[in-house]
Structure 1
Protein backbone atom coordinates (compact mmCIF):
# COMPACT_ATOMS: atom_id res chain seq x y z
CA UNK A 1 0.00 0.00 0.00
CA UNK A 2 1.09 3.60 -0.45
CA UNK A 3 0.98 6.59 1.85
CA UNK A 4 -1.84 8.92 0.81
CA UNK A 5 0.32 11.86 1.96
CA UNK A 6 3.75 11.33 0.39
CA UNK A 7 3.02 8.47 -2.00
CA UNK A 8 5.80 6.24 -0.68
CA UNK A 9 5.20 2.54 -0.41
CA UNK A 10 4.57 1.29 3.09
CA UNK A 11 3.55 -2.01 4.68
CA UNK A 12 -0.06 -3.01 4.59
CA UNK A 13 -1.80 -2.27 7.85
CA UNK A 14 0.66 0.47 8.87
CA UNK A 15 -0.82 3.13 11.12
CA UNK A 16 1.84 5.73 10.31
CA UNK A 17 3.96 6.41 7.21
CA UNK A 18 7.62 5.68 7.96
CA UNK A 19 8.63 8.27 5.41
CA UNK A 20 6.54 11.32 6.34
CA UNK A 21 5.00 10.25 9.64
CA UNK A 22 1.39 10.82 8.52
CA UNK A 23 -1.37 8.79 10.20
CA UNK A 24 -2.83 6.21 7.94
CA UNK A 25 -6.64 5.82 8.13
CA UNK A 26 -7.74 2.24 7.72
CA UNK A 27 -10.50 1.47 5.23
CA UNK A 28 -12.00 -1.09 7.57
CA UNK A 29 -12.43 1.56 10.25
CA UNK A 30 -14.10 3.83 7.76
CA UNK A 31 -16.28 1.02 6.58
CA UNK A 32 -17.10 0.06 10.15
CA UNK A 33 -18.00 3.64 10.97
CA UNK A 34 -20.17 3.85 7.90
CA UNK A 35 -21.78 0.54 8.80
CA UNK A 36 -22.46 1.75 12.34
CA UNK A 37 -24.00 4.91 10.98
CA UNK A 38 -26.22 2.87 8.69
CA UNK A 39 -27.26 0.59 11.56
CA UNK A 40 -27.91 3.57 13.85
CA UNK A 41 -29.97 5.27 11.17
CA UNK A 42 -31.92 2.04 10.59
CA UNK A 43 -32.59 1.66 14.33
CA UNK A 44 -33.75 5.27 14.55
CA UNK A 45 -36.16 4.70 11.65
CA UNK A 46 -37.59 1.63 13.39
CA UNK A 47 -38.04 3.55 16.63
CA UNK A 48 -39.75 6.39 14.76
CA UNK A 49 -42.11 3.97 13.04
CA UNK A 50 -42.99 2.34 16.36
CA UNK A 51 -43.68 5.74 17.95
CA UNK A 52 -45.92 6.79 15.03
CA UNK A 53 -47.81 3.49 15.17
CA UNK A 54 -48.26 3.84 18.95
CA UNK A 55 -49.57 7.39 18.57
CA UNK A 56 -52.03 6.29 15.88
CA UNK A 57 -53.32 3.41 18.01
CA UNK A 58 -53.76 5.73 21.02
CA UNK A 59 -55.64 8.24 18.85
CA UNK A 60 -57.96 5.51 17.54
CA UNK A 61 -58.68 4.29 21.07
CA UNK A 62 -59.45 7.84 22.28
CA UNK A 63 -61.76 8.48 19.31
CA UNK A 64 -63.55 5.18 19.96
CA UNK A 65 -64.08 6.09 23.63
CA UNK A 66 -65.43 9.53 22.69
CA UNK A 67 -67.75 8.04 20.08
CA UNK A 68 -69.13 5.46 22.51
CA UNK A 69 -69.43 8.09 25.23
CA UNK A 70 -71.58 10.40 23.12
CA UNK A 71 -73.58 7.48 21.76
CA UNK A 72 -74.53 6.33 25.26
CA UNK A 73 -75.04 9.82 26.69
CA UNK A 74 -72.05 9.49 29.01
CA UNK A 75 -70.88 13.04 28.27
CA UNK A 76 -74.28 14.78 28.25
CA UNK A 77 -75.58 13.75 31.66
CA UNK A 78 -77.87 11.08 30.24
CA UNK A 79 -77.29 7.89 32.18
CA UNK A 80 -79.92 5.94 30.27
CA UNK A 81 -77.35 4.48 27.88
CA UNK A 82 -75.18 3.04 30.64
CA UNK A 83 -78.16 1.53 32.42
CA UNK A 84 -80.15 0.28 29.45
CA UNK A 85 -80.81 -3.13 30.92
CA UNK A 86 -81.95 -1.67 34.23
CA UNK A 87 -84.20 0.86 32.52
CA UNK A 88 -85.82 -1.77 30.36
CA UNK A 89 -86.48 -3.90 33.41
CA UNK A 90 -88.08 -1.00 35.23
CA UNK A 91 -90.24 -0.14 32.21
CA UNK A 92 -91.31 -3.70 31.70
CA UNK A 93 -92.62 -4.11 35.27
CA UNK A 94 -95.73 -2.15 36.38
CA UNK A 95 -94.71 0.48 38.92
CA UNK A 96 -97.65 -0.01 41.29
CA UNK A 97 -99.56 -3.07 40.11
CA UNK A 98 -100.66 -5.43 42.87
CA UNK A 99 -102.27 -8.83 42.62
CA UNK A 100 -106.04 -8.71 42.92
CA UNK A 101 -108.63 -11.22 44.04
CA UNK A 102 -112.28 -11.15 45.06
CA UNK A 103 -111.28 -11.72 48.66
CA UNK A 104 -108.59 -9.01 48.67
CA UNK A 105 -108.81 -6.21 46.11
CA UNK A 106 -106.29 -3.40 46.82
CA UNK A 107 -107.79 0.09 46.83
CA UNK A 108 -104.63 1.21 45.02
CA UNK A 109 -105.81 -0.77 41.97
CA UNK A 110 -109.19 1.03 41.82
CA UNK A 111 -107.96 3.79 39.44
CA UNK A 112 -106.72 1.14 36.97
CA UNK A 113 -110.06 -0.68 37.25
CA UNK A 114 -111.90 2.61 36.60
CA UNK A 115 -109.85 3.12 33.44
CA UNK A 116 -110.58 -0.45 32.33
CA UNK A 117 -114.32 0.17 32.82
CA UNK A 118 -114.13 3.36 30.79
CA UNK A 119 -112.19 1.58 28.03
CA UNK A 120 -114.80 -1.20 27.91
CA UNK A 121 -117.45 1.28 26.77
CA UNK A 122 -119.93 0.08 29.38
CA UNK A 123 -119.69 -3.57 28.44
CA UNK A 124 -119.64 -6.08 31.30
CA UNK A 125 -118.13 -8.22 32.62
CA UNK A 126 -114.85 -6.29 32.63
CA UNK A 127 -111.62 -8.25 32.48
CA UNK A 128 -109.15 -6.91 35.04
CA UNK A 129 -105.96 -8.85 35.63
CA UNK A 130 -107.16 -12.37 36.51
CA UNK A 131 -110.70 -11.29 37.36
CA UNK A 132 -113.88 -11.09 35.30
CA UNK A 133 -115.95 -8.46 37.16
CA UNK A 134 -119.67 -7.83 36.88
CA UNK A 135 -121.14 -4.34 36.84
CA UNK A 136 -122.29 -4.77 40.44
CA UNK A 137 -118.84 -5.86 41.60
CA UNK A 138 -117.21 -2.90 39.83
CA UNK A 139 -119.71 -0.48 41.35
CA UNK A 140 -119.04 -1.84 44.82
CA UNK A 141 -115.24 -1.80 44.43
CA UNK A 142 -115.13 1.79 43.20
CA UNK A 143 -117.67 3.22 45.66
CA UNK A 144 -115.93 1.45 48.55
CA UNK A 145 -112.55 2.74 47.31
CA UNK A 146 -113.79 6.34 47.18
CA UNK A 147 -115.10 6.00 50.74
CA UNK A 148 -111.88 4.43 52.05
CA UNK A 149 -109.63 7.00 50.38
CA UNK A 150 -111.84 9.81 51.67
CA UNK A 151 -111.48 8.34 55.17
CA UNK A 152 -107.70 8.23 54.85
CA UNK A 153 -107.28 4.52 54.06
CA UNK A 154 -105.81 4.38 50.53
CA UNK A 155 -103.81 1.23 51.33
CA UNK A 156 -106.81 -0.84 52.43
CA UNK A 157 -108.10 -3.94 50.65
CA UNK A 158 -111.68 -4.84 49.82
CA UNK A 159 -113.47 -8.17 50.11
CA UNK A 160 -115.57 -7.95 46.96
CA UNK A 161 -117.87 -10.93 47.12
CA UNK A 162 -120.66 -11.15 44.56
CA UNK A 163 -123.29 -8.46 45.22
CA UNK A 164 -126.48 -8.57 43.20
CA UNK A 165 -128.09 -5.69 41.37
CA UNK A 166 -130.59 -3.24 42.85
CA UNK A 167 -134.07 -4.83 43.04
CA UNK A 168 -135.85 -1.64 41.94
CA UNK A 169 -133.26 0.88 40.67
CA UNK A 170 -134.41 4.50 40.56
CA UNK A 171 -133.07 8.06 40.57
CA UNK A 172 -133.43 10.92 38.11
CA UNK A 173 -129.70 11.64 37.71
CA UNK A 174 -130.04 15.38 37.22
CA UNK A 175 -126.92 17.32 36.20
CA UNK A 176 -125.23 18.83 39.23
CA UNK A 177 -121.93 19.45 40.99
CA UNK A 178 -121.20 17.40 44.09
CA UNK A 179 -118.50 18.52 46.54
CA UNK A 180 -115.88 16.07 47.79
CA UNK A 181 -117.31 15.72 51.30
CA UNK A 182 -120.70 14.90 49.83
CA UNK A 183 -119.59 12.33 47.27
CA UNK A 184 -117.35 10.64 49.85
CA UNK A 185 -120.38 10.42 52.17
CA UNK A 186 -122.52 9.10 49.32
CA UNK A 187 -119.92 6.47 48.44
CA UNK A 188 -119.68 5.40 52.07
CA UNK A 189 -123.46 5.02 52.43
CA UNK A 190 -123.74 3.28 49.08
CA UNK A 191 -121.00 0.68 49.77
CA UNK A 192 -122.12 0.20 53.38
CA UNK A 193 -125.60 -0.73 52.12
CA UNK A 194 -124.00 -3.38 49.92
CA UNK A 195 -121.96 -4.66 52.89
CA UNK A 196 -125.14 -5.11 54.92
CA UNK A 197 -127.49 -6.39 52.23
CA UNK A 198 -125.35 -8.11 49.63
CA UNK A 199 -127.04 -6.07 46.87
CA UNK A 200 -126.83 -2.60 45.38
CA UNK A 201 -129.29 -0.05 46.79
CA UNK A 202 -132.04 1.25 44.52
CA UNK A 203 -130.59 4.78 44.78
CA UNK A 204 -128.36 6.97 46.91
CA UNK A 205 -129.35 10.38 48.21
CA UNK A 206 -127.19 13.48 47.74
CA UNK A 207 -128.54 15.05 50.98
CA UNK A 208 -128.94 18.44 49.36
CA UNK A 209 -132.34 20.06 49.45
CA UNK A 210 -134.25 19.74 46.19
CA UNK A 211 -131.61 17.52 44.54
CA UNK A 212 -132.76 14.25 43.01
CA UNK A 213 -131.36 10.92 44.17
CA UNK A 214 -128.61 9.13 42.21
CA UNK A 215 -129.22 5.75 40.51
CA UNK A 216 -126.79 2.81 40.87
CA UNK A 217 -125.65 3.18 37.24
CA UNK A 218 -125.02 6.89 37.72
CA UNK A 219 -123.13 6.14 40.91
CA UNK A 220 -120.82 3.87 38.93
CA UNK A 221 -120.17 6.66 36.41
CA UNK A 222 -119.39 9.08 39.23
CA UNK A 223 -116.96 6.68 40.89
CA UNK A 224 -115.22 5.91 37.59
CA UNK A 225 -114.64 9.63 37.01
CA UNK A 226 -113.42 10.17 40.59
CA UNK A 227 -111.01 7.23 40.50
CA UNK A 228 -109.50 8.15 37.13
CA UNK A 229 -108.88 11.68 38.43
CA UNK A 230 -107.40 10.26 41.62
CA UNK A 231 -105.12 7.95 39.64
CA UNK A 232 -103.72 10.93 37.73
CA UNK A 233 -103.33 13.38 40.64
CA UNK A 234 -103.20 11.11 43.75
CA UNK A 235 -105.81 13.38 45.28
CA UNK A 236 -109.59 13.15 45.31
CA UNK A 237 -111.06 15.98 43.21
CA UNK A 238 -112.57 18.92 45.11
CA UNK A 239 -115.88 18.29 43.34
CA UNK A 240 -117.40 16.16 40.63
CA UNK A 241 -119.80 17.24 37.86
CA UNK A 242 -122.50 14.79 36.82
Structure 2
Protein backbone atom coordinates (compact mmCIF):
# COMPACT_ATOMS: atom_id res chain seq x y z
CA UNK A 1 0.00 0.00 0.00
CA UNK A 2 1.06 3.64 -0.36
CA UNK A 3 0.91 6.59 2.01
CA UNK A 4 -1.95 8.88 0.97
CA UNK A 5 0.13 11.93 1.96
CA UNK A 6 3.68 11.37 0.69
CA UNK A 7 2.99 8.54 -1.73
CA UNK A 8 5.76 6.29 -0.42
CA UNK A 9 5.19 2.55 -0.26
CA UNK A 10 4.50 1.21 3.22
CA UNK A 11 3.44 -2.14 4.62
CA UNK A 12 -0.14 -3.21 4.53
CA UNK A 13 -1.83 -2.61 7.88
CA UNK A 14 0.61 0.16 8.93
CA UNK A 15 -0.89 2.74 11.27
CA UNK A 16 1.74 5.43 10.49
CA UNK A 17 3.89 6.18 7.44
CA UNK A 18 7.54 5.38 8.18
CA UNK A 19 8.58 8.09 5.77
CA UNK A 20 6.48 11.10 6.77
CA UNK A 21 4.87 9.89 9.99
CA UNK A 22 1.34 10.61 8.84
CA UNK A 23 -1.40 8.42 10.39
CA UNK A 24 -2.89 5.89 8.04
CA UNK A 25 -6.71 5.40 8.07
CA UNK A 26 -7.66 1.77 7.65
CA UNK A 27 -10.52 0.83 5.30
CA UNK A 28 -13.34 -1.17 6.80
CA UNK A 29 -13.85 -3.75 4.09
CA UNK A 30 -16.88 -5.22 5.81
CA UNK A 31 -18.62 -1.84 6.04
CA UNK A 32 -17.70 -1.03 2.44
CA UNK A 33 -19.05 -4.36 1.25
CA UNK A 34 -22.19 -3.93 3.35
CA UNK A 35 -22.71 -0.43 1.97
CA UNK A 36 -22.30 -1.66 -1.57
CA UNK A 37 -24.72 -4.45 -0.89
CA UNK A 38 -27.26 -2.06 0.60
CA UNK A 39 -26.91 0.35 -2.33
CA UNK A 40 -27.23 -2.48 -4.81
CA UNK A 41 -30.24 -3.86 -2.96
CA UNK A 42 -31.86 -0.43 -2.88
CA UNK A 43 -31.36 -0.02 -6.63
CA UNK A 44 -32.93 -3.43 -7.26
CA UNK A 45 -36.00 -2.56 -5.16
CA UNK A 46 -36.40 0.75 -6.99
CA UNK A 47 -36.12 -1.00 -10.36
CA UNK A 48 -38.70 -3.59 -9.32
CA UNK A 49 -41.11 -0.87 -8.21
CA UNK A 50 -40.71 0.94 -11.54
CA UNK A 51 -41.35 -2.27 -13.51
CA UNK A 52 -44.41 -3.11 -11.39
CA UNK A 53 -45.74 0.42 -11.85
CA UNK A 54 -45.29 0.25 -15.61
CA UNK A 55 -47.05 -3.13 -15.74
CA UNK A 56 -49.98 -1.81 -13.68
CA UNK A 57 -50.36 1.22 -15.97
CA UNK A 58 -50.21 -1.02 -19.06
CA UNK A 59 -52.87 -3.35 -17.64
CA UNK A 60 -55.16 -0.40 -16.83
CA UNK A 61 -54.73 1.06 -20.33
CA UNK A 62 -55.46 -2.30 -21.97
CA UNK A 63 -58.55 -2.75 -19.80
CA UNK A 64 -59.84 0.69 -20.84
CA UNK A 65 -59.22 -0.12 -24.51
CA UNK A 66 -61.07 -3.45 -24.33
CA UNK A 67 -64.00 -1.90 -22.47
CA UNK A 68 -64.10 0.97 -24.96
CA UNK A 69 -64.15 -1.38 -27.94
CA UNK A 70 -66.85 -3.52 -26.37
CA UNK A 71 -69.15 -0.60 -25.59
CA UNK A 72 -68.46 1.42 -28.75
CA UNK A 73 -66.80 4.21 -26.75
CA UNK A 74 -64.35 4.87 -29.57
CA UNK A 75 -67.04 4.85 -32.26
CA UNK A 76 -68.52 8.11 -31.09
CA UNK A 77 -67.58 10.04 -34.21
CA UNK A 78 -68.97 7.36 -36.52
CA UNK A 79 -72.14 7.03 -34.45
CA UNK A 80 -72.60 10.78 -34.43
CA UNK A 81 -72.07 10.89 -38.18
CA UNK A 82 -74.58 8.08 -38.70
CA UNK A 83 -77.08 9.73 -36.40
CA UNK A 84 -76.60 13.03 -38.22
CA UNK A 85 -76.99 11.27 -41.57
CA UNK A 86 -80.19 9.60 -40.38
CA UNK A 87 -81.45 12.94 -39.12
CA UNK A 88 -80.60 14.62 -42.40
CA UNK A 89 -82.30 11.79 -44.29
CA UNK A 90 -85.39 12.15 -42.14
CA UNK A 91 -85.43 15.87 -42.78
CA UNK A 92 -85.13 15.30 -46.53
CA UNK A 93 -87.95 12.76 -46.46
CA UNK A 94 -90.10 15.02 -44.32
CA UNK A 95 -89.34 17.93 -46.62
CA UNK A 96 -90.35 15.85 -49.64
CA UNK A 97 -93.60 14.86 -48.01
CA UNK A 98 -94.34 18.38 -46.86
CA UNK A 99 -93.81 19.61 -50.43
CA UNK A 100 -96.62 17.26 -51.48
CA UNK A 101 -99.43 17.79 -48.97
CA UNK A 102 -102.30 15.35 -49.15
CA UNK A 103 -105.94 16.31 -49.35
CA UNK A 104 -109.18 14.77 -50.58
CA UNK A 105 -109.10 17.04 -53.60
CA UNK A 106 -105.46 16.30 -54.46
CA UNK A 107 -103.82 13.13 -53.17
CA UNK A 108 -100.36 12.54 -54.75
CA UNK A 109 -99.84 9.07 -56.17
CA UNK A 110 -96.33 9.21 -54.68
CA UNK A 111 -97.95 9.03 -51.22
CA UNK A 112 -99.90 5.83 -52.03
CA UNK A 113 -97.13 3.43 -50.82
CA UNK A 114 -97.04 5.23 -47.45
CA UNK A 115 -100.83 4.99 -47.21
CA UNK A 116 -100.62 1.25 -48.02
CA UNK A 117 -98.15 0.82 -45.16
CA UNK A 118 -100.43 2.78 -42.82
CA UNK A 119 -103.37 0.53 -43.75
CA UNK A 120 -101.29 -2.57 -43.09
CA UNK A 121 -100.13 -1.19 -39.74
CA UNK A 122 -103.72 -0.40 -38.73
CA UNK A 123 -104.61 -4.09 -38.89
CA UNK A 124 -107.63 -3.45 -41.10
CA UNK A 125 -109.26 -0.92 -38.78
CA UNK A 126 -110.95 2.03 -40.45
CA UNK A 127 -110.91 4.95 -40.71
CA UNK A 128 -107.14 5.12 -41.22
CA UNK A 129 -105.34 8.25 -40.06
CA UNK A 130 -102.89 9.41 -42.71
CA UNK A 131 -101.21 12.78 -42.20
CA UNK A 132 -104.12 15.23 -41.90
CA UNK A 133 -106.73 12.87 -43.33
CA UNK A 134 -109.09 10.32 -41.81
CA UNK A 135 -109.79 7.89 -44.65
CA UNK A 136 -112.61 5.36 -44.90
CA UNK A 137 -112.16 1.90 -46.39
CA UNK A 138 -113.86 3.01 -49.61
CA UNK A 139 -111.58 6.04 -49.94
CA UNK A 140 -108.50 3.88 -49.35
CA UNK A 141 -109.66 1.39 -51.96
CA UNK A 142 -110.10 4.15 -54.51
CA UNK A 143 -106.75 5.85 -53.77
CA UNK A 144 -104.77 2.60 -53.94
CA UNK A 145 -106.47 1.10 -56.99
CA UNK A 146 -106.33 4.41 -58.88
CA UNK A 147 -102.65 4.82 -57.97
CA UNK A 148 -101.79 1.36 -59.33
CA UNK A 149 -103.69 2.13 -62.54
CA UNK A 150 -101.85 5.45 -62.98
CA UNK A 151 -98.42 3.97 -62.19
CA UNK A 152 -99.10 1.07 -64.56
CA UNK A 153 -100.00 3.54 -67.29
CA UNK A 154 -96.81 5.56 -66.77
CA UNK A 155 -98.17 8.46 -64.69
CA UNK A 156 -96.66 8.05 -61.18
CA UNK A 157 -96.56 11.82 -60.55
CA UNK A 158 -100.32 12.34 -60.88
CA UNK A 159 -102.67 13.44 -58.13
CA UNK A 160 -106.07 11.95 -57.32
CA UNK A 161 -109.33 13.67 -56.42
CA UNK A 162 -110.60 11.26 -53.76
CA UNK A 163 -114.14 12.39 -52.99
CA UNK A 164 -116.28 10.41 -50.57
CA UNK A 165 -117.42 7.14 -52.19
CA UNK A 166 -119.55 4.67 -50.26
CA UNK A 167 -118.53 1.08 -49.59
CA UNK A 168 -119.97 -1.83 -51.59
CA UNK A 169 -123.64 -2.41 -50.84
CA UNK A 170 -123.45 -6.20 -51.33
CA UNK A 171 -119.79 -7.23 -51.36
CA UNK A 172 -119.20 -10.66 -52.85
CA UNK A 173 -116.52 -12.81 -54.44
CA UNK A 174 -114.40 -15.71 -53.29
CA UNK A 175 -110.96 -14.98 -51.92
CA UNK A 176 -109.08 -17.94 -53.39
CA UNK A 177 -105.29 -18.02 -53.37
CA UNK A 178 -103.88 -17.21 -56.78
CA UNK A 179 -101.10 -15.43 -58.64
CA UNK A 180 -102.04 -12.35 -60.67
CA UNK A 181 -99.68 -11.01 -63.34
CA UNK A 182 -98.89 -7.30 -63.54
CA UNK A 183 -100.95 -6.61 -66.66
CA UNK A 184 -103.95 -8.26 -65.01
CA UNK A 185 -103.79 -6.46 -61.67
CA UNK A 186 -103.20 -3.11 -63.41
CA UNK A 187 -106.31 -3.79 -65.52
CA UNK A 188 -108.27 -4.82 -62.41
CA UNK A 189 -107.20 -1.64 -60.63
CA UNK A 190 -108.18 0.48 -63.60
CA UNK A 191 -111.65 -1.13 -63.84
CA UNK A 192 -112.14 -1.00 -60.07
CA UNK A 193 -111.24 2.69 -59.70
CA UNK A 194 -113.20 3.62 -62.84
CA UNK A 195 -116.32 2.01 -61.36
CA UNK A 196 -115.91 4.10 -58.21
CA UNK A 197 -115.54 7.27 -60.28
CA UNK A 198 -118.70 6.55 -62.25
CA UNK A 199 -120.85 5.35 -59.35
CA UNK A 200 -119.36 7.08 -56.27
CA UNK A 201 -119.36 3.65 -54.67
CA UNK A 202 -117.09 0.61 -54.39
CA UNK A 203 -118.16 -2.27 -56.69
CA UNK A 204 -119.41 -5.46 -55.06
CA UNK A 205 -116.61 -7.43 -56.72
CA UNK A 206 -113.97 -7.25 -59.43
CA UNK A 207 -113.47 -9.94 -62.05
CA UNK A 208 -110.31 -11.38 -63.62
CA UNK A 209 -110.07 -12.16 -67.33
CA UNK A 210 -108.99 -15.71 -66.64
CA UNK A 211 -111.28 -18.67 -67.18
CA UNK A 212 -112.35 -20.49 -64.06
CA UNK A 213 -110.96 -17.88 -61.64
CA UNK A 214 -113.40 -16.55 -59.08
CA UNK A 215 -114.24 -12.86 -58.74
CA UNK A 216 -112.38 -10.92 -56.07
CA UNK A 217 -114.14 -9.24 -53.18
CA UNK A 218 -113.46 -5.60 -52.22
CA UNK A 219 -111.62 -6.69 -49.06
CA UNK A 220 -109.31 -8.97 -51.03
CA UNK A 221 -108.81 -6.19 -53.58
CA UNK A 222 -107.65 -3.94 -50.75
CA UNK A 223 -105.13 -6.59 -49.62
CA UNK A 224 -103.86 -6.90 -53.19
CA UNK A 225 -103.43 -3.12 -53.58
CA UNK A 226 -101.65 -2.81 -50.22
CA UNK A 227 -99.15 -5.55 -51.13
CA UNK A 228 -98.48 -4.13 -54.58
CA UNK A 229 -97.88 -0.57 -53.38
CA UNK A 230 -95.68 -1.56 -50.42
CA UNK A 231 -93.53 -3.50 -52.89
CA UNK A 232 -93.56 -0.51 -55.25
CA UNK A 233 -92.53 1.82 -52.42
CA UNK A 234 -89.47 -0.36 -51.72
CA UNK A 235 -88.36 -1.02 -55.30
CA UNK A 236 -89.94 1.86 -57.30
CA UNK A 237 -91.19 -0.77 -59.74
CA UNK A 238 -94.51 -2.56 -59.89
CA UNK A 239 -93.98 -6.27 -59.15
CA UNK A 240 -94.17 -8.67 -62.09
CA UNK A 241 -96.93 -10.56 -60.27
CA UNK A 242 -98.70 -10.68 -56.93
CA UNK A 243 -99.60 -13.72 -54.87
CA UNK A 244 -102.94 -13.47 -53.04
Smaller-chain TM-score bracket:
0.5 to 0.7
Task: Tell me which residue corresponds to 1:213.
Answer: 215
In structure 1, which of residues 179, 185, 188 is the aligned counterpart of residue 181 of structure 2? 179
Aligned pair count reads 167
Counterpart of 2:109 (choices 104, 107, 110) is 107
Secondary structure of the 2:228 match is: helix
Deviation at 1:93, TM superposition (A): 4.2
CA distance in 2, matches of 1:219, 1:240: 12
Give the C-alpha shift of residue 72 in structure 1: 4.9
Partner of 2:159: 157
Return the match for 1:203 from 202, 205, 208. 205
Q: Distance in 2 between matches of 1:90 and 1:118?
A: 24
Q: Could you tell me how far 1:94 is from its partner in structure 2?
A: 2.0
Tell me which of 110, 116, 119 is aligned to 1:117: 119
CA displacement 1:115-174 (0-9 Å, x = unmatched):
000000000000000000000000100000000000000000000000001121110111
Instruction: Determine the C-alpha separation between the residues in 2 that align with 1:209 and 1:175.
Output: 15
Alpha carbons of 1:87 and 1:218: their partners in 2 closer, same or farther (altered >3 Å)? closer
In the TM superposition, residue 90 of structure 1 has moved relative to its aligned partner by: 4.0
Residue in 1 that maps onto 2:87: 88
- TM-score where L is the length of structure 2: 0.64
Distance 2:166 2:190 in 1: 18
What's the TM-score, normalizing by structure 1? Answer: 0.64
Aligned counterparts, 1:51-62, within 5 A: none
Q: Which residue of 1 aligns with 2:26?
A: none
Shift in CA distance, 202/87, structure 1 to aligned 2, threshold 3 Å: closer
The answer to which structure has the higher helix fraction is: 2
* Backbone CA RMSD of aligned residues: 2.2
Aligned counterparts of 1:131 and 1:79: Cα–Cα separation in 2: 35
Shift of 1:79: 11
Pair 1:169–1:88, CA change in 2 (3 A): closer
Structure 1 partner of 2:172 = 170
Q: 1:236 aligns with which of 235, 238, 242?
A: 238
Moved more, 95-104 or 119-128: 95-104
CA distance in structure 2 between the partners assigned to 1:122 and 1:239 by the alignment? 23
